[in-house]
Amino acid sequence: MNSGVVPISDFQLAMSVILVLITGAISAALRLGLLKSLLWGTVRTFVQLTFIGYVLKYLFTFNNLWLISLMIALMSFVAARASVKRTPNVPQYPVSLAFWSILTSTLLVGLIVVRIIIQPEPWYSAKIVIPIFGMILGNSMTGIALSLDRLYGEAYARAGEIEALLAFGATPWEAIRGCVKDAVRSGMTPTINSLMVVGIVSLPGMMTGQILGGADPHEAVRYQIVVMLMIAAAVAIGCLLLVGLSYKKLFNEDGALKPEILKSRQ
């Protein structure tokens, strides 16, 4: 097996735009209204990935713990902000709660993977830490967005039931517990589905990238197993933290549902 990555020239990279043109032609033919977003997304992909390539090269060269920590905090903030924007049922949700939830779950799971499982030297090696934490954040972002949106959606739909339970003496937690379970389940479902079909239906990006880079398939599989399990753990912890912090925001100081939740029944 050849070692090393097969290089892609500038011309070959430019040829990849053909794929976007095909997608754009389909969107235009069907009048889906996605052409502008697709083109803008393509431009952003080229710019953002080119920029991050230079940033990562700098971080890998200096391998400074403080710079790596700052990068992870920035990535967590961007992920939290993006996840909140993906929740149409939750207007004006504070980004800070999402940030602390996603940062805590990422640090907890990421440090276990780096310090206990992979054990690079030094343990904060940028080439290991940033890709690992980036994969955790990318998947946690989707999970917490789904769970947060589902929590509020369930609360709106079941406001009458929740109010009745409160009237019979239930605590806010007892009244909202069913919504919380559905919310966490919703956030974890995509990850669990991925665990079920990985290696049969899909070959994940990290494993594929290592194989294309010349790594032994068996070693790539070992890394991918660690990645899949760490993602599942991070998504579960992130969803639990965010939903646990969020359900209280549905109630006022007296333990009653807030007026905006009750209005959803009308």
Specify the higher pLDDT residue, 250 or 74. 74
Do residues 130 and 177 share a domain? Answer: yes
Structure tokens at 79: 């992920």
Instruction: Looking at the structure, tell me whether residues 129 and 218 fall in a common domain.
Output: yes
Same domain, 30 and 76: no
Specify whether 4 is located in the same domain as 70. no
Q: What is the pLDDT of residues 30-70, one digit of tens each?
A: 888 888 888 898 899 889 888 988 988 888 888 899 999 99
- Say whether both 118 and 218 belong to one domain: yes
Which of 40, 62, 84 terminates a domain? The answer is 62
Q: 104 and 154: one domain? A: yes
If one counts the domains in the chain, the total is: 2
Radius of gyration for the chain, computed over Cα atoms and rounded to the nearest angstrom = 22
Determine if the pTM surpasses 0.75: yes
Residues 210-234: tens digit of each pLDDT: 777 777 888 888 888 888 899 999 9
Report the chain's terminal Cα–Cα distance, integer Å.
65
What's the pLDDT tens digit per position in 122-162? 888 888 899 899 888 988 888 888 898 899 888 888 888 88
The verdict on 58 and 71 lying in the same domain is: no
The proportion of the chain whose per-residue pLDDT surpasses 70, expressed as a percent, equals 92
Residue 70's pLDDT is: 93
Q: What pLDDT score does 266 carry?
A: 47
* Owning domain of residue 30: 1-62
Identify the three-state secondary structure at position 85: helix
The answer on 107 and 29 residing in a single domain is no
E strand or H helix at 135: helix 126-157
Around Cβ 246, how many Cβ atoms within 10 Å?
A: 23
The answer to whether residues 53 and 114 belong to one domain is no
One domain, residues 57 and 72: no
121 and 182 assigned to the same domain? yes
Four-CA torsion 38, 43, 47, 50, nearest 10 degrees:
80
Asked whether residue 111 falls in the same domain as residue 71, the answer is yes
